[in-house]
Chains A and B, each alone.
Chain A
């Protein structure tokens, strides 16, 4: 690749630490003029941090950034923008109440003696959009345009402000297929004009359609830079997850009595359940005593499936039956009444209340189920809490300690205890072992196995394929917000097979 043109942007040895976390360690990155360069990696791999360091949202702790050969250090997105680096985010940062033309040109309106020349504003905006082959009524308010058009307007503004480096951070997440095609047309056109585009997306197909090269990050470190044409999807997934195929296939796979789980009564049955923009219609049956694993990359729709089953989002299509009877879950409370419990992925924001004690956090769901008018007697509280603190080995075993002072693994156990106490029939666990140490992880896995032996249905979501394989009776594979395959966990199912399914979308 030495014959490539000189990079317009080069980042060398970038390091960034947040308190207690090394977000980026010694990452190199370069961007050539006239290319679309995909930045790949799972959530938490450091993609957003790299972009934020580049655009001056965060200061670098080490390493240097050069733009056009001269070192730069931006104080904020504005300074970066003035130097020629513009970012368009997934959520469009424009003013919905202003017209399309004004959104493109505000702050830089053509004026005469301080008076804005509106005709000139509209003419220039239309000209800019025409350059992107867009035909939009520039005097329409932005709020009347579709999200795709709004994004194009944001790109038009970015290109007009500074036309050298354009960062598109997950621009396609809420676009439909036709709109994505439009966006790609615009990107190809800008590329032809010599603009360097940094593109972030969770959708592998889109990467392969539009990107020339990609840089892969994992755990804040650089995995490598590859030409898209030379790296297959399976290898890409392997590099993102950090496992080579041959390593994975040798992993042991505990035998499961799959047939027994299939024989038991179905507890929850989703038929073509879906919600546009969240997850495409899927059909999934969870039997009593069965652990159903959900595998897929982050952002593939795993959590969205869980939220639909828990009534946190409304399904707009399909139907769901619980215990044989059709139900409509309008709220999480309705789901709780049907015996469904949900341990959310984000335990700090959506689960625990950090300032309450361990006891108060554990008792919360049970108290909510009883209603506030019937407080749980202190003695019953103590018995229940003691039982679960011991059963789950929550350390320190002090129910009066604020839960924020516990380690991540113990916080996760507190959250589990909260839902176990209401004795659910279906327990949805979203990434229950993320960010906790090995010991706690093993304990939670053991607990899941015990619960399913006791007849509880479990939906187990995890980014770690080994873990999903070890626990599940069957595995649903998600990709691009679609359930692409449902695989029984028999002897033939390995993490390698799972990875291939994720990479190929179940088409192989």
Chain B
């Protein structure tokens, strides 16, 4: 019987595979949605439709990557949407009203976003305050700062910037993507590498599994927790830059509620809100699911865009229940 006790048994590898189950479900859903769309609408089943989903949601993808880091530690970041708006505002006003070069503006915006994240991370860790309330405060602060800069929409006319925004990178088969998509995918790859091949990434998972244990195992909990909020701040700022490339303007009411879209994408991608379990690939699929819902509704033509929200709501319910079932079966 001793060997029974000590070998984890054949069920272990099965359960190991179960870790990928949520991601596989999301992937299956995506394929199903694409198939249904292809059967229902002419011109739906083309590569460019998929690429357009990427083009229209590149900023959301980047923001959701940052959110994935935070949620993996068991935290939450409500400030991302407001930081996106603030970033578009700073970008637009510096370039349009003050004539700065994009080469100076973009690094500055990324710095502001990271600094905001750093400050929130420090408050969360050193004062032991719930991330919910700290990032809620950060959200109000960033959104409020937008109106200090200006209450109206500021359009961006800087030549270099608009050129980048309008660049179409040609792909085989008469398809194309925007520069934003390339940046977003690069962010995804770098983040996935960080999560799986660096100590920082593994510490993120460890803290999500059990912060107390991570502390007792001697892992740098403080540094890691502050780092994830800084990363989220950086991603939000970069998301803001991409958003301003997409709309070529800055506005304080941009990206209203985007934090919730990002959280929804992460959860639909199979990451547990309690932390410690999830993959960046899932987040990418989650963003694609959200984008594809919008595409299908626009193809339908007669439906109001509010149906997007209804479908996202229903999907969230289903995925939360699914997570619950999976974690119940594990224990």
Instruction: Determine if A140 and B16 form an interchain contact, defined as CB atoms under 8 angstroms apart.
Output: yes
Q: Write out the residue numbers on chain A whose beta carbons fall within 8 Å of the beta carbon of B199.
A: 107, 109, 111, 116
Q: Any chain A CB within 8 A of the CB of B209?
A: yes
Contact of B210 among A95, A137, A146, A148 (CB under 8 A): A95
Taking a contact as CB atoms under 8 Å apart, the answer to whether A135 and B218 are in contact is no
| A116 and B214 form a contact (CB under 8 A) | no
Q: Is B2 part of the binding interface, using a Cβ–Cβ cutoff of 8 Å?
A: yes
23 contacts between A and B (CB under 8 A): A81-B218, A82-B218, A93-B216, A94-B210, A95-B209, A96-B209, A96-B276, A100-B8, A106-B202, A106-B206, A106-B219, A111-B199, A116-B198, A137-B12, A141-B16, A141-B19, A143-B15, A143-B331, A144-B12, A144-B15, A178-B1, A178-B5, A181-B2
* Contact partners of B212 in chain A: CB under 8 A: 93
CA distance A181 to B6 in the complex (A): 11
Are B217 and A107 in touch, CB under 8 angstroms? yes
Query: Which residues of B, 4-50, contact A by the 8 Å Cβ criterion?
Result: 4-8, 11-13, 15-16, 19
Q: Which of B179-202 contact A (CB under 8 A)?
A: 196-199, 202
A-side residues, CB < 8 A to B, are 77-78, 81-82, 93-98, 100, 102, 106-107, 109, 111, 114-116, 134-137, 139-141, 143-146, 148-149, 152, 157, 161, 178-179, 181-182, 185
Best-buried of B5, B13, B196, B206 by chain A (most CB within 10 Å): B5
A90-B56 Cα distance, complex, nearest whole Å: 52
B8 near A137 (CB under 8 angstroms)?
yes
Determine the chain B residues whose CB is within 8 A of the CB of A161 once the complex forms. 218
Instruction: Report the Cα distance A157→B7, complex, angstroms.
Output: 18
- B205 located at the interface, meaning its Cβ lies under 8 Å from any Cβ of chain A in the complex: yes
Is B209 touching A97 in the complex (CB atoms < 8 A)?
A: yes
Known: A135-B6, A141-B15, A178-B5. 19 other contacts (CB 8 A): A82-B218, A93-B210, A95-B205, A95-B210, A95-B276, A97-B208, A106-B217, A107-B218, A114-B198, A116-B196, A116-B198, A135-B7, A136-B6, A139-B16, A144-B8, A144-B11, A144-B16, A149-B6, A182-B2
Residues from chain B with Cβ under 8 Å of A140 in the complex: 8, 12-13, 15-16
Assess whether A182 is in contact with B5, with CB atoms less than 8 Å apart: yes
B217 and A136 contact, CB distance less than 8 A: no
Distance in angstroms from A482 CB to nearest chain B CB is 21
Report yes or no: A146 in contact with B5, Cβ–Cβ below 8 A.
yes
Instruction: Knowing A96-B210, A182-B5, say if A109 contacts B218 (CB, 8 Å).
Output: no
- Count of A-B contacts with CB under 8 A? 107
Whether A95 contacts B7 by the Cβ 8 Å rule is: no
Q: How far is the CA of A78 from the CA of B214 in the complex (A)?
A: 11
Q: How far is the CB of A131 from chain B (nearest CB, A)?
A: 14
| A327 and B208 alpha carbons, distance in the complex (Å) | 43
| Neighbouring B residues of A135 by C-beta, 8 Å | 3, 6-7
- Classify the interface of chain B: helix, strand, loop or mixed: helix
Residue of A nearest to B272 (CB): A97
- Would you call B151 an interface residue if the criterion is a C-beta within 8 Å of the partner chain's C-beta atoms? no
> Which chain B residues numbered 114 to 152 have a C-beta less than 8 Å away from chain A?
none
Asked if B217 contacts A179 (CB within 8 A), the reply is: no
Contact of B330 among A81, A106, A115, A143 (CB under 8 A): A143
Cβ–Cβ < 8 Å partners of A152 in chain B: 6
Complex A-B, nearest 5 residue pairs according to Cβ-Cβ distance, in ascending order: A95-B209, A140-B12, A97-B209, A97-B276, A93-B213
Q: Across the interface, which residues of B come within 8 angstroms of A137, CB to CB?
A: 7-8, 12-13
In the docked arrangement, what's the CA distance between A143 and B213, Å? 14
Residues of A within 8 A of B198 (CB): 114-116
Between A94, A97, A102, the greatest number of chain B beta carbons within 10 A of the residue's beta carbon is seen for: A97
Q: Whole-angstrom distance between the alpha carbons of A429 and B286 in the complex?
A: 56
**Chain A contacts of B8 at CB under 8 A?**
100, 136-137, 140, 144-145, 149
Hey, which chain B residues are within 8 Å of A139, CB to CB?
A: 16
Interface membership of B155, Cβ < 8 A: no
The reply on B277 being an interface residue by CB < 8 A is: yes
**Once the chains are docked, how many angstroms separate the CA of A146 from the CA of B2?**
12
Q: In the complex, what's the smallest C-beta–C-beta distance from A83 to chain B, in angstroms?
A: 12
Q: Which residue of B lies closest to A136 (CB)?
A: B8
Chain B's nearest CB lies how many Å from the CB of A474?
A: 38
- CB contacts (< 8 Å) of A134 on chain B: these are 6
User: In the complex, are the beta carbons of B202 and A93 less than 8 A apart?
Assistant: no
Which chain B positions have C-beta within 8 A of A144? Answer: 8, 11-12, 15-16, 330
> Nearest-CB distance from B215 to chain A (Å)?
8
Contact A149 B213 (CB under 8 A): no
Q: Closest B residue to A89 by CB, please name it.
A: B216
Contact partner of B2 (CB less than 8 A), chosen from A100, A115, A178, is A178
- Compute how far the CA of A102 lies from the CA of B213 in the bound complex, rounded to whole angstroms: 13
Residues of B within 8 A of A111 (CB): 199
Closest to B200 in A: A114
Q: Is the CB of A136 within 8 A of B2?
A: no
Q: Give Cα A144–Cα B10 distance, bound, in whole angstroms.
A: 11
Which A-chain residue is minimally distant from B7 (CB atoms)?
A135
Closest to A134 in B: B6
* Closest chain A residue to B278, Cβ basis: A97
Q: Chain A's nearest CB lies how many Å from the CB of B81?
A: 29
Complex-state Cα separation, A477 to B20, whole angstroms: 51
* A100 cross-chain contacts in B, Cβ below 8 A: 8
Q: Is B217 a contact partner of A98 (Cβ separation < 8 A)?
A: no
Question: Nearest B residue to A78 by beta-carbon distance?
Answer: B218
A96 to B276, CA, bound (A): 9
Cα of A95 to Cα of B3 in the assembled complex, Å: 24
Chain B positions within 8 Å of A148 at CB level: 5-6
CA–CA, A82 to B218, complex, Å?
9
Whether the Cβ atoms of B6 and A116 lie closer than 8 Å is: no
Would you call A115 and B213 a contact (CB within 8 A)? no
